[in-house]
């Protein structure tokens, strides 16, 4: 009775070997990945070369010149919306202070900027106070809810723009005077 039972035959291979297909897919993926890396490197090098040429073509502006240029554009570009106007005004002031004193004010809150400004050795206390007060006056308008924001007087916006310009000019004059004093002392 047990002599009539035969073992099951092993499977017979038909068609293409799955190992070969797997190897071909891995090879094709490797070729595509290498081609993609080559294309990305060529693109990056070409873009870098163009960026170097573009940077060489641009005249470099001092922080003061940049701030004055941006302040002149500010009222014309953002005068219709007080919130955007005061965000831009704050950005301009922070960018100017950052570039002038080599600190990163752009990511600072007004309170953090106030602490940093208090440490400046060149500025007198009056200018420090005006700069801190200016940022604090802009904050309520910048962070006011949209539904609570009413139309802001264009006269006040113009006054704040003028004040920001005079503040930038004052700081620039103080820094220039300090540089002259340092050169005179070192000579």
> Which residue, among 161, 163, 75, 175, has the nearest Cα to 123 in the 3D structure?
175
pLDDT value for 30: 96
CATH (residue range 63-186): 1.20.120
**Dihedral of CA 92/95/96/97: which sign?**
positive
Residue 3 pLDDT greater than 80, yes or no: no
What pTM does this model have? 0.62
| Count of alpha carbons within 13 angstroms of residue 129, beta-carbon side | 3
pLDDT at residue 75 tops 70: no
As a whole number of angstroms, the distance between CA 161 and CA 113 comes to: 19
Question: Domain residue spans in the chain?
Answer: 15-58, 63-186
Q: What tens digit of pLDDT does each residue of 97-130 get? A: 888 888 888 788 888 888 888 887 777 788 888 8
CB atoms < 10 A from the CB of 13, how many?
8
């Amino acid at each position: 009775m047990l002599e009539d039972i035969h073992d099951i035959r092993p499977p017979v291979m038909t068609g293409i070997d799955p190992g070969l297909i797997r190897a071909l897919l891995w090879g094709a993926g490797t070729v595509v990945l290498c081609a993609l890396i080559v294309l990305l490197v060529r693109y990056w090098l070409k873009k870098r070369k163009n960026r170097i040429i573009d940077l060489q073509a641009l005249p470099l502006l001092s922080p003061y010149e940049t701030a004055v240029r941006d302040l002149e554009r500010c009222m014309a570009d953002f005068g219709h919306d007080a919130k955007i106007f005061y965000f831009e005004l704050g950005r301009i002031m922070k960018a100017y202070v950052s570039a002038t004193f080599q600190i990163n004010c752009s990511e600072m809150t007004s309170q953090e900027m106030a602490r940093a400004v208090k440490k400046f050795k060149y500025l007198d206390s009056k200018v420090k106070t005006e700069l801190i007060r200016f940022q604090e006056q802009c904050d309520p308008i910048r962070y006011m809810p949209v539904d609570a924001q009413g139309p802001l007087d264009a006269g006040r916006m113009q006054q704040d723009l003028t004040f920001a310009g005079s503040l930038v000019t004052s700081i620039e004059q103080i820094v220039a005077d300090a540089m002259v004093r340092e050169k005179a002392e070192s000579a």
